Structures are given as C-alpha cells and as structure tokens.
Structure 1
Amino acid sequence: MLLIRNFSHQDKSHLIRYLNTPNVTRFLSSRIPSPYTEDDATWWIEQGSKNGIIRAIEVDGEFVGCVGAEPGQFEYAYSAEVGYWLAEPFWGKGYASKALALLVNEVKNNSEIVRLHASVFAGNQASCKVLEKCGFITEGYLKRAVFKQGAFYDTHLYGRVIK
C-alpha cells in the first residue's frame, strides 16, 4: 500500500542513503547538497520539508521517496511547483504516479492553489510520463534553461490547472 505522509526522524538514514545515489539525484535540483549528510537530513525533516506541501512517500511501511508542491510568491501565490523522487529500487512500479496523484488531490482539497507546474530535464522521460499520467500537459520546451554540474540542460515545462 502506498501513502504520503509528513517526514519523521525515522526517515533520516533512508534520506542519506538514497540522496547519495547518483542515479536518484541525476535529474534533481542542485539545491540538494552533495554529499548528503546527516545534518542535511535533519534540516530537511525539521525545516525544509515544511516549506510547502511536501510529503514522504511510503510503500508497505517503508520510506521510498518524496513528493511535494512548493507554492510561489507574490503574483504566483496561487501556483505551485511540483517535484518528486523515488529510491532506485522502487522505479518502474507506478509509485511516483500514485504519489503525485495523492499530492494533487491534497493540494486541490486543502489549499488555495489553482495551478501546478513542473520542469523536467530533457532525457528524463520517466518523469514526463508520470506527469502525463497525472493530467499535466506540456506547456513548453526551454532551451538551455538549467546549468548543473558544468553542463546545460533543456527542460520540458508541464502544467495543470486543478481548480
């Protein structure tokens, strides 16, 4: 059974292990420290995961990843950027789509957010499929929009109006 929930200190060792896996962090924001330390995990659990609607993904009682919506500010206050990641052993099982669907429902029912969007690195087709399964549509393609680890990446821009 898959559920999304608030982070807890029991997630710390999993965060450290999974966020020090290059395949997991390859397409994630460079906001995530590398290497990912115990202090980073503690900060995330106590503070970082409280900036928006951010949830741990749990499958059959085991922490497997993260899904969240980070609201914009000022004129973008009714929009939020969604993001998600899963530990590698849990890829390809539909968990990201299920978690994102649960998050979209929570955002729709428990916030004033009316629009969700996501940027996906070119080459991350699995993430594009997750968004499309959850009703997001392609809104654009941004050339050389991201610079990470010495390289430029194009990004796909997805959006969904939920209210």
Structure 2
Amino acid sequence: MLRLRRFKTDDALLLINYLNNPEVMQFLSPKIPNPYTIDDARWWIETGSKAGHTFAIEQNGHFIGCIGAVAGEFEYSKSAEVGYWLAKEYWGQRITSQALVLLIEKIQQSNDIVRLHAVVFEGNTRSAKVLEKVGFAQEGCLHKAIYKQGDFHNALVYGKVIA
C-alpha cells in the first residue's frame, strides 16, 4: 500500500543512503547537499520538510522517497512547484505517478492552489513521463536555465491546472 506521510526521525539513515546514490541525485537540484550527511538529514526532517505540502513516500510501511509542492509568493500564491525523488530500487514500478496523484488529492482537499508546475532537467525522460501520465503538459523549455556541477542544462517546464 502506498501512502504519503510526514517525515520521521527514523527516516534519517535511509535519507542518507538514498541521497548518496549518484543515480538518484543526477537530476535533483544542486541545493540538495552532496555528499548527504546525518546533519543534512536531521535538518530536512526537523525543518526543510515542513515547507509546503512535503511528504515522505511510504510503501508497505517502508520509507522510499519524497514528494512535495511548495506554493509561490505574491502573484504566484495560487500556484505551487512540485518536486519528487524515489529510491533507485523502486524505479519503474509506477510509484511516483501514484504518489503524485495522492499529492494532488491532498492539495485539492486542503487549500486554494489551482495550478501546479514542475521543472525537469532535459533528458530526464522518466520524470517527464511521470508528469505526463497524470495530466501535466510541457509548457516550455528554458534554455541553459539550470547550472549544476559546472554544466548548463535546459529546464523543461510542465504544468497542470487542478481546480
């Protein structure tokens, strides 16, 4: 059974394990520390994960990833940016698309967000397929918008109106 829940102290060691996998980190924001340490995990559990609608993804009682949406400010206050990652051993099982559906349902029930968007590194076809599967559409390409580890990457912007 798949569910979304708040992060717990017990998630720290798995956070470290999952986020020190180069394949998991490949398309994630450089704001996530690398290497990922116990202090990083503690900060995330106690502070970082409290922003917006941020949840641990749990399957059959096991923490396996993260998903969230953080609302914008001012004129973007009715929109939220979606982000997610999943432990490598769970890839290819349609878990992320199921988690995204659960997240959208939570957002629709709890506030007045009407639009979601996500930014995907060009070349991250897995993430693009997840978004498209749940009704997001590619809205544009921001050329050389992402700078990570000395390289520029195009950012594909996906959006979905949910209300």
TM-score (norm 2): 0.98
- Partner residue, 2:98: 98
Listed one character per residue, the Cα deviations across residues 58-101 of structure 1 (whole Å, up to 9, x for unaligned) are 11111100000011111111110001000000000000000011
Mapped to 1, the partners of 2:36 and 2:112 lie a distance apart of 33
Listed one character per residue, the Cα deviations across residues 38-60 of structure 1 (whole Å, up to 9, x for unaligned) are 11101101110001000000111
Q: Which amino acid aligns with 1:103?
A: L
Deviation at 1:114, TM superposition (A): 0.8
- Partner residue, 2:150: 150
- Partner residue, 2:126: 126
Mapped to 2, the partners of 1:104 and 1:134 lie a distance apart of 10
Q: Which amino acid aligns with 1:32?
A: I
Listed one character per residue, the Cα deviations across residues 10-59 of structure 1 (whole Å, up to 9, x for unaligned) are 11100010011110011001110111111110110111000100000011
- Partner residue, 1:115: 115
Q: Which amino acid aligns with 2:159?
A: G
Mapped to 2, the partners of 1:126 and 1:111 lie a distance apart of 29
Structure 2 stretches lacking a partner, 5+ long: none
1:4-153 correspondence to structure 2 within 5 Å: 4-153=4-153
Q: Secondary structure at the match of 2:89?
A: helix
Listed one character per residue, the Cα deviations across residues 97-154 of structure 1 (whole Å, up to 9, x for unaligned) are 0001100111111111111000100110000000011111110111111010000001
Structure 1 stretches lacking a partner, 5+ long: none
RMSD, aligned CA: 0.6
Mapped to 2, the partners of 1:74 and 1:49 lie a distance apart of 22
TM-score (norm 1): 0.98
